[in-house]
Amino acid sequence: MIQNLLEELGKNGSFYLHLLLEHIGITFTAVIIATILGLAIGVFIAQKQKLANSVISVVNIAYTIPSIALLGFLISFTGVGNTTAIIALTIYALLPIVRSTYVGITTIDPKIIEASQAMGSTDSQILWKIQLPLAFPVIFAGIMNMVTMTIALAGIASFVGAGGLGVAIYRGITTNNEVLIWIGGILIAVLALVIDGILSVIGKLVEEHKVHTIVNKKVGYALGILLVIIIGIVGMQQYSKSDTIHIASKPVSEGYILAEIVGTLIEADTNLKVEYTHGVGGGTSNIHPGMVRGDFDMYPEYTGTSWQIVLKHKEDYKNDKFPMLSAEYKDKYHFLWKGMFGFNDTYSIGIRADLAKEYGIKTFTDLAKYAGQLTFGAEYDFFEREDGYKALANAYNYHFKKVVDMDNGLKYQALFDKKIDVMTVFTTDGQLSDPRVVVLEDDRNFYPSYMAGMVVREEILQKHPELEAVLHRLDGILDESTMAQLNKKVEIDKEDPKQVAKEFLQSKGLVVK
Amino acid sequence: MNQIIEYKHIGKSYQGKWVVRDCNLSINEGDFLCIVGTSGSGKTTLLKMINGLIVPDEGDITIFGTRVIDQDIISLRRKIGYAIQGDGLFPHMTVADNIGYVPKLDGVPRGEVDTIVDRMLSLVGLPLDSKEKYPKELSGGQQQRVGIARAYANSPKILLMDEPFGAVDSITRYQLQEDLKKIHKQTDCTIVFITHDMHEAFKLGTHILVMHEGKIQQYGTTEEVKNHPSNDYVKQLVEMTR
């Protein structure tokens, strides 16, 4: 395991360094904003004690909101990306700062405050020269607490498409790659420990009076200037993005691969730059609003998903409805369906290859004749769902010898071990590239169609007409079994989606080696 | 003799109870006034009205010929020294920073502040090497000396002291009393000094004010109070010192 980690770090070191720097950037922007804001609120309520309880309860409540819920909620206001992550992290970071500032200031011996008043200090002199320095140990403990918490919490930020080490973890989870999860997790832990160590040394120096006035106006100004610089840099990056195509992907291997295929081809064929936001949490529900806002320019989507989730049609999507689908997309959102890859990632039935050959079963209808001799396996919820087992059995008149429910991850192994004969599959499952299993044809179109294609903002095509030709070259380049093979490379062979995409394009002669 | 502090019909109440009522008093420049009374007699209330920490509900208090409420309270306070019992010192500042606090607020240049600090240290009899120490590294008596040095650093016309020697042992207290007398002699400073100890008042004060239950019992020179107590309460206090 350790060897795998080191190998991966050696191979993609710059990728992880980039994530680490991004992580530090996101964390520290949030930490600086929260510190300034939290100090201000803490100081304010320390002067206005009547407000203190209500303000602290509000901050407390914000703190108890589960991070996933808060992030999901913020997406609808600030979209996906670093901004949302920074806002969420700032909200969480506020509580420790507000509370420690308030406690630090209000527990100072009132005699000392009175003495400083009696000597003719103004309110701001009392604050800067007496209250803040005396409250410093308490405030600093709050800051240390908050910084390590924020570093850890920022790992979740990739759920909303933000950068940082969470990207490695999230990609690891969605592509079933443990090495990525370990590296992301370990780097976050190491970062938190290192920063904590540095801060405790600083804290000790200040308390031993070796650094005299760390909390003074100069530091305040310096932090302010730093903040302006960070905002400036972020702003510049946003501005320079005008010639950049932003591609999003869903948190599944297939999403990563398709996005990389499109992006790689765009960069090869045009002068445009491509930026990826991989594995957006919630998939369509969050990427579609991001497209509407213009955060993303295009993303790989499935017709059936759009039909039900975006257009909210009740009836199933079938291929003959494509003109309706694309017309509604154009009218409602000014999005176009381009680059239809040619494969249908839908539900289907897989059967042991030896049985398929023996009985000559090719279609769902063929299966009905032999069902009485076969065992059928599916994940537990397939037997619960309205459109699951019952509907399928009714449609094709199946009467299996036995039905078994089992964990999705163990299904293929059970089939290879001949514990089950037939099972539900997705047509592009990575394991389907194994010769021991064969996919049957849904000859009566029982299942909706989920054709994969790129949803593209019309505006970006008008701005960069050269994209039209690039996307056209993607039409029909993938069938189900090819896609299943690419998925296998990522999920089972643990290859990098970018590399898989590049090799595929080379094999098709779309990109020169 | 110039009047420097004047109380006219001063009253102050807390939650409907008068702690001080109808007090009239004038203090002359250069006086060393000791206010004597038990706790709750209203002596601290009277003292804190001088630098505006407490604002009277009734009457007027005039300092340097102008009513306190008509003055810029910040600049008035910088002209009045203030020392209290125990640790009114700033624990996060060195002795030098504590003593130099008010001159620095007043914008005195760094070099001059250093000179002031050195002068104050020798005035209160502390060694120069205590400058870089923090209050917690000093003994109780030394802390009290720093407190006096800090109160006097800006060469104020008025020095307010609220039982400054209340928390030190009797030997240290004796030395501090001697030092304070010396400072009063060397300067033209007006001192208002609160104590509950008649001995201390007789030893230090040129004038004595006896307070009881918010009312002035007697106000006069030390000799007057010692030899002609105005009522039984004062007489009792004087007799206890014999």
pLDDT digits (tens, 9 = 90+) for B29-79: 999 999 998 888 889 999 999 999 999 999 999 999 899 989 999 999 999
pLDDT at residue A156, rounded to an integer = 85
In a domain, A330, yes or no: yes
- Smallest Cβ–Cβ distance between B105 and the set A114, A115, A120 belongs to A120
Do A274 and A385 sit in the same domain of this protein? no
Q: Are strands B190-195 and B17-28 parallel, antiparallel or unpaired?
A: unpaired
Q: Do A348 and A425 contact (CB within 8 A), yes or no?
A: yes
Stretches where chain A sits below pLDDT 70 are: 209-220, 233-242
Q: Is the domain of A147 the same as that of A6?
A: yes
Confidence class of residue B86 from pLDDT cuts 50, 70 and 90?
Answer: confident
The pLDDT assigned to A400 comes to 92
Q: What is the largest CA-CA distance in chain A?
A: 101
pTM over 0.80: no
Using a CB-CB cut-off of 8 Å, the residues of chain A touching B51 are 118
Spatial distance between the Cα atoms of A112 and A130, rounded to a whole number of angstroms? 8
3-state SS assignment for residue A299:
strand
* CATH code assigned at A301: 3.40.190.10
Q: Determine whether domain B3-79+156-240 maps to CATH 3.40.50.300.
A: yes
Same domain, A96 and A200: yes
Same domain assignment for residues A43 and A191: yes
User: In chain A, which residue's Cα lies nearest the Cα of B83?
Assistant: A115
Q: How far is CA A382 from CA A127, A405, A444, in A?
A: 64, 8, 20
pLDDT value of position A239:
55
Distances in Å between the Cα of A222 and the Cα atoms of A29, A207, A217, A228 are: 14, 21, 9, 10
Question: Exposed/middle/buried for A395, CB within 10 Å: 0-12, 13-18, 19+?
Answer: middle
A256 and A321 together in one domain: yes
In-domain check, residue A449: no
Q: How many other C-beta atoms lie within 10 A of the C-beta of residue A257?
A: 25
CB atoms B90 and A122 under 8 Å:
no
CA–CA dist A303, A52 (Å, integer): 53
Q: How far is B137 from chain A (nearest CA, A)?
A: 13
What is the side-by-side strand order in the sheet with B66-67?
A: B17-28, B3-14, B58-63, B66-67
Chain B residue numbers touching A138 (CB-CB < 8 A): none
Report pLDDT for A433: 86
Residue range of the domain that includes A142: 2-215
| Alpha carbon of B144: minimum distance to chain A alpha carbons (Å) | 14
Instruction: Assess whether A335 and A378 both reside in one domain.
Output: no
Amino acid making up residue A164: G
In a domain, residue A232? The reply is no
The B207-212 sheet, strands edge to edge = B80-84, B158-162, B190-195, B32-36, B207-212, B215-221
Together in a domain, A140 and A198: yes
Determine the Cα–Cα distance for residues A316 and B38; give it in Å rounded to an integer. 92
Q: Is A288 left (phi over 0), alpha (psi -120 to 50) or beta?
A: alpha
pLDDT band at B172 (very low <50, low <70, confident <90, very high): confident
DSSP run (H or E) holding B13: strand B3-14
**pLDDT at residue number A282:** 77
Whether the per-residue pLDDT at B191 is higher than 60: the answer is: yes
B75 touches chain A (CB under 8 A): yes
Give me Rg for the CA atoms of chain A. 28
Hey, which residues does A405 pair with through a beta bridge?
A378
CA distance B11 to B54: 11
In a domain, residue A451? The reply is: no
pLDDT value of residue A492 = 86
Res B193: pLDDT? 95
Question: What's the CATH number where A137 sits?
Answer: 1.10.3720.10
Across the interface, of A112, A120, A136, the residue whose CB is closest to B90 is A112
Query: Positive or negative, the Cα torsion across B109, B112, B117, B120?
Result: negative
Contacts of B88 in chain A (CB under 8 A): 111-112, 114-115
- Looking at the complex, report in whole angstroms how far the Cα of residue A219 sits from the nearest Cα belonging to chain B: 18
**Mutate which of A119, A123, A207, A215 to disrupt the B interface (most B C-beta within 10 Å)?**
A119
Same domain as A323, residue A363: no
Q: Structural domain tally of chain A?
A: 3
Helices A284-293 and A67-78: angle between axes, nearest 10 degrees? 30
A156 and A287 together in one domain: no
Choose the final residue of a domain: A198, A215, A232. A215
Q: Closest chain B residue to A132 measured between Cα atoms? A: B92
Which is nearest to B89 in space by CA: B155, B162, B156, B150?
Answer: B150
Domain co-membership, A336 together with A351: no
Query: What are the boundaries of each domain within chain B?
Result: 3-79+156-240, 90-155
Contact status, residue B222 vs residue B208, Cβ threshold 8 Å: yes
Task: Show residues of chain A in contact with B80, CB under 8 Å.
Answer: 118, 120
